[in-house]
Amino acid sequence: MINNKAIRITKENSNFQHFEVIKRNRNKRYKHREFFVEGVRNINEAIRNGWDISSFLYSGERRLSDWAREILDNVNTDTLYELSQNLMDKLSGKEDTSELLAIVKMKDDSFSRIKLNKNPLIVVIDRPSNRGNLGTLIRSCDALNCNGLIMTGHAVDLYDPETIISSVGTFFSLPTLRLPSYKEAYDWIQDLREHYPDLQIVGTSAGGGKPINQCDFTKPTILLLGNETVGLSRNFKDICDVIVLIPIDGVASSLNVSCAASIMLYEIYRQRHL
């Protein structure tokens, strides 16, 4: 039975405005350390992977599915909100309004979230600028056995709804950290070298380097990806043990960063599973 202590909202009051601003405003998201989640798979994965749910939102004017009712009855939250259907319609990003929306608490950007195995693979992307690309990259990293993804510098928002939707639920299973600059990543990489003496730093470039199939990815690897427009920064290039490229033909001189990353990650996966 749904909690009868849910707060009912029938007009655009301060609570509703909070939900709207969490969804649309990056600065407010980080001020409140909460973000907006929509979609069955995304909500299921958030719960399955132990993310703290601040609130669930639903409409009291429609019959809820067994899935929604079970979540409302059994998942702990700070507060439940029962909205009028027209307010749910305004918040939803779908043509067919979702029956359940969630406000989820952010996690700390702590390196301890990345669980390293005996042969780790970590991806670092410098200043990603496209939300869809970032979500797709998260999905590929999750599918191809990465231990974690690190974003550095001024970048698109990790917690933007479009990023989360593009990840198709993998956002909640892949540890993804935001670092202010190259320096924090560099310091962590140096610490890793003490535990993994054969750790290699592999940069990527469309302009030159060793073809990916000629690089040995069977050892611990950090794969560095550059910004969609300007590529890998000089600071990151300087710490690379090797620069690799994907040989391509055709008119295009380079690939979309998420496509290129997926190809490289598959090559790593292939080599490690021969």
Three-class secondary structure of residue 152 per DSSP: strand
**pLDDT band for position 253 (50/70/90)?**
low
What would the 3-class secondary structure string for 51-83 be? CCEEEEEEECCCCCCHHHHHHHHHCCCCEEEEE
pLDDT score of 93 = 83
- Mean pLDDT for 264-269 is 97
Task: Point out the least confidently predicted range of 10-24, 99-113, 248-262.
Answer: 248-262
| Mean confidence (pLDDT) of the chain | 93
Q: How many domains does the chain have?
A: 2
Does residue 158 sit in the same domain as residue 223? yes
Please give the backbone phi and psi of residue 188, each rounded to the nearest 5 degrees, phi first. -65, -40
Among residues 167, 273, 155, 259, the alpha carbon closest in space to that of 204 is found at 259
- Mean pLDDT for 246-273 is 87
pLDDT score of 247 = 86
pLDDT score of 2 = 55
Q: Is residue 246 part of a domain?
A: yes
pLDDT score of 94 = 87
Name the one residue in this structure whose structure tokens are 């005996």: 118
Which of 105, 126, 142 corresponds to the end of one domain? Answer: 105
- Its pTM stands at 0.93
Please give the backbone phi and psi of residue 263, each rounded to the nearest 5 degrees, phi first. -65, -45
Sign of CA dihedral 91, 95, 101, 106: negative
Does residue 123 sit in the same domain as residue 175? yes
Compare 218 and 252 and report the one with higher pLDDT: 218
Among residues 45, 81, 85, the alpha carbon closest in space to that of 63 is found at 85
Does residue 138 sit in the same domain as residue 252? yes
Task: Convert the pLDDT of each residue in 198-251 to its tens digit.
Answer: 999 999 987 778 999 999 999 999 999 988 778 888 899 999 999 998 888 776
Does residue 42 sit in the same domain as residue 139? no
Task: Convert the pLDDT of each residue in 162-207 to its tens digit.
Answer: 999 999 999 999 999 999 999 999 999 999 999 999 999 999 987 7
Does residue 100 sit in the same domain as residue 161? no
Three-class secondary structure of residue 9 per DSSP: strand
Does residue 49 sit in the same domain as residue 119? no
Structure tokens at 165: 């939707």
Q: Is residue 68 part of a domain?
A: yes
pLDDT score of 256 = 84
Q: Is residue 2 part of a domain?
A: no
Does residue 256 sit in the same domain as residue 228? yes
Does residue 131 sit in the same domain as residue 39? no
CATH number of the structural domain spanning residue 151 = 3.40.1280.10
pLDDT score of 228 = 77
Task: Point out the least confidently predicted range of 19-33, 65-79, 248-262.
Answer: 248-262
Element (H, E) at 258: helix 257-272
- Mean pLDDT for 8-25 is 95
Question: What stretches of the chain adopt beta strand conformation (E)?
Answer: 7-9, 34-38, 53-59, 79-83, 100-105, 121-126, 148-152, 176-179, 200-204, 210-211, 221-225, 242-245
Q: Is residue 190 part of a domain?
A: yes
Instruction: Determine the structural domain holding residue 61 and report its residue range.
Output: 7-105
What is the spatial distance between Cα 266 and Cα 80, in angstroms, rounded to a whole number?
42
pLDDT score of 198 = 96
Q: Residue 119 above 80 pLDDT?
A: yes
CATH number of the structural domain spanning residue 101 = 3.30.1330.30
Q: Is residue 199 part of a domain?
A: yes
CA 172, 178, 182: angle at the middle one, nearest 5?
145
Does residue 134 sit in the same domain as residue 250? yes
Does residue 87 sit in the same domain as residue 119? no
Helices (H) and strands (E) counted in the chain, each on its own, are 10, 12
Name the one residue in this structure whose structure tokens are 């190809």: 263
pLDDT score of 3 = 52
